[in-house]
Amino acid sequence: MIFDPFGDFDTRGYLRNLEQEKDLTFVKRLEHASFTTGIDEAFAALTKNNPLTYADVLGTHKILFDAFYPWAGQDRATIAPDIAVSRGDVLFAHPKFIRNAVEFALKIGNDPVRMKAKPGEVMGYLAHAHPFLDGNGRTIIVVHCVLAQRAGFSIDWAATDKNSYLVSLTKELDRPGKGELDAFLKPFMRSAAADLSRQIAAAKGLDGGVAETDKVYGRNDDPAVQAQYEQQQLKREEQSSEHRR
């Protein structure tokens, strides 16, 4: 099923892309071209700002995808506030909690000591936020690389197994703060990378060609969807509370 949160795929193409393209194989190629063209500019912009803020995350997405999506740099709370988005069994953050999740991740990530101790937790909160309708993984990894570099390390993404990483990430999303993704990433921690663009180029699976894509889980005013969000929030609050003890 095509991910069509705007309900106008037939007339405006996938996510209203500027080419009005509907062929998903071609869409992913154009997305990746936009990403690779903008990555140096994105890193240059991030390195000017310390600490990183929510605005920096939005700005990174805009730089990376503005050549293809007219809504680049705008989060789901702005352009799709009424729908719930999921992938597989994972329900991403309610639009109104996206900023909170990102800012919690940045609170940890902007502290070099905590970032080095909890790289997976930072990634997990950024992934749970899922701020954008597309381009989340690529935006998040760019931000994460800058946070890691400032903390004096890098992740050897080229050495990781994509499927194993996704399994660990899913566990992290289900059990935030329990160290699932920290344990996966720590064996791949290296000294800080001198060339962040090259590090990203070596990362696996950033071409957007994933087996599973996002889907519209439902409308946020649907009682069943609201109940699912409430369950998720209670679970995450409980686990986060245990983590802080």
What confidence tens digit (pLDDT) does each residue in 52-110 have? 999 999 999 999 999 999 999 999 999 999 999 999 889 999 999 999 999 999 999 99
Tell me the three state secondary structure of residue 104.
Answer: helix
What DSSP character marks residue 193? Answer: P
Please say if the pLDDT value at position 209 is more than 70. no
- pTM of the predicted protein model: 0.93
Given a contact cutoff of 8 angstroms between Cβ atoms, the answer to whether 90 and 236 are in contact is no
Average pLDDT of the chain?
92
Given a contact cutoff of 8 angstroms between Cβ atoms, the answer to whether 71 and 116 are in contact is no
The domain 9-244 belongs to what CATH superfamily?
Fido-like domain (1.10.3290.10)
CA distances from 58 to 37, 83, 130, 145 (A): 17, 20, 12, 16
Could you tell me the residue ranges of all domains in the chain?
A: 9-244
Q: What is d(CA 26, CA 52) in angstroms, rounded to the nearest whole number?
A: 33
Please say if the pLDDT value at position 177 is more than 50. yes
| pLDDT at residue 214, rounded to an integer | 93
User: What does the block give as tokens for 207?
Assistant: 């071409």
